[in-house]
Amino acid sequence: MKGNAKKFRQSGVLDYDFGKLINGLESLGEDYNKEIKNTIKEVAEEVRLELKKQVSKGQHYYSGQVKKSLQNKNEVKVENPWSGKITAEVGFKRSEGGAVAYWLERGTPRMPAYRIISKSAKKVDAQQILSKQVSDKLLKQWNKGRK
Amino acid sequence: MGIDVKDKLIKLIETLGYVEGDTIILQGTLGADDAYPASFFTFFNPETVELYADNVPYKAFWYIELNYYSNDPTSVNTIFETLKPLLKSNGFKVEGKGFDVPSDEPEWTGRGINIIYEDIY
């Protein structure tokens, strides 16, 4: 229920809380923030490429302005070092014409919703990929520590 | 299996004096030449998730986007204050306080909410 509810976020920013996994890694005695940040960046890039693909096709493509407003840099930042929350911002810049992406996501009475943001998020499933990659790293380190 | 939640929602909104197919429509279905009614609702069900136990579905979560458009800005800002208690008392969960939604007509503004209905079979 909680996971599904996240699909309704309207920000156009995909952010996931990996506090538990990060704390698990840190409890093994090493700082993995840098490695995790790189992993998050890689997944954010996958989301960005999918958004680019979705926005470039279909009946809604007109002037290419929304595509141009897609941000090339996926800034990864540690939001709260105490809880271990790291986020990556992926999406369209409103001031550069990206507001239309919201129209495409939501539709209007006369225009059906094209849902480019939710389609991209669903296709890449960033949460699942990240969970797997970070869990693999945790498991690898755990096994190493047990030898 | 289960109930038609969209139908349940429409019937609730009809109690406020709106009419299905006229002032309660599916998002994106108003024709290019059709005039906007003075005030109206649109809805869209992007996803319905079914949960299973022993390979048998036992409940579904219906996600519905409900929007309200009007040429009266006051009603746009207050409509969901009236509607929210009605939705809640009929089993709908309302997420947050809503958000602005885009309109095709410059004189109309819109406001939307996301609602969830847990349909236990």
C-beta atoms of B63 and A8 within 8 A: yes
Length of chain A: 147
User: Looking at the complex, does the CB of residue A110 fall below 8 Å from at least one CB of chain B?
Assistant: yes
Closest CA to A77 of A117, A33, A46: A33
Among A1, A106, A107, beta carbon nearest to B61: A1
C-beta atoms of B28 and A10 within 8 A: no
Task: Name residues 19-78 of chain A within 8 A of B (Cβ).
Answer: none
Q: Give me the pLDDT at residue A60, please.
A: 66
Q: Give me the pLDDT at residue B47, please.
A: 86
Predicted ipTM?
0.84
| Residue B53: strand pairing partners | B56
Q: How far apart are CA B3 and CA B60, in angstroms?
A: 10
Question: From the CA of B25, how many Å to the nearest CA of chain A?
Answer: 8
CA distances from B32 to A15, A99, B18, B99, B104 (A): 37, 22, 22, 25, 10
Q: How far apart are CA A44 and CA B22, in angstroms?
A: 43
Please indicate, yes or no, whether the overall pTM of this predicted structure exceeds 0.90: no
Q: What is the pLDDT of residues A72-93, one digit of tens each?
A: 877 788 777 666 677 788 888 8
C-beta atoms of B102 and A106 within 8 A: yes
Three-state SS letters, B33-99? CCCCCCEEEEEEEEEEEEEEECCEEEEEEEEEEEEEEECCHHHHHHHHHHHHHHHHHCCEEEEEEEE
Structure tokens at B110: 């819109």
> What confidence category does residue A65 fall into, taking pLDDT thresholds of 50, 70 and 90?
confident
Amino acid in position B4: D
Contact B84, B98 (CB under 8 A): no
Q: Comparing A11-20, A128-137, B69-78, which segment has the lowest mean pLDDT? A: A11-20
Among A5, A109, A113, beta carbon nearest to B25: A109
Q: How far apart are CA B66 and CA A82, in angstroms?
A: 38
Q: Give me the pLDDT at residue A2, please.
A: 42
Chain B residues in contact with A5 by the CB 8 A cut-off are 95, 116
Rounded to 5 degrees, φ, ψ at B112 are -130, 160
Structure tokens at A68: 């141009």
Provide the 3-class DSSP secondary structure of residue A48. helix
Tell me how many degrees the CA angle B51-B54-B59 measures, rounded to the nearest 5.
Answer: 25
Length of chain B: 121
Q: Give me the pLDDT at residue A3, please.
A: 43
- Distance from the first to the final alpha carbon of chain B: 7
pLDDT exceeds cutoff 90 at B43 = yes
Better pLDDT: A9 or B47: B47
Q: How far apart are CA A19 and CA A21, in angstroms?
A: 6
Three-state SS letters, A67-93? HHCECCCCCEEEEECCCCEEEECCCEC
Residues of chain B whose beta carbon is less than 8 angstroms from a beta carbon of chain A are 25, 27-32, 34, 36, 40, 42, 44, 46-47, 49, 61, 63, 65, 67, 69, 95, 99, 101-104, 112, 114, 116
Q: For helices A126-146 and A116-124, give the axis angle rounded to 10 degrees.
A: 20
Contact A68, A101 (CB under 8 A): no
Q: What is the pLDDT of residues B97-114, one digit of tens each?
A: 899 998 999 999 999 999
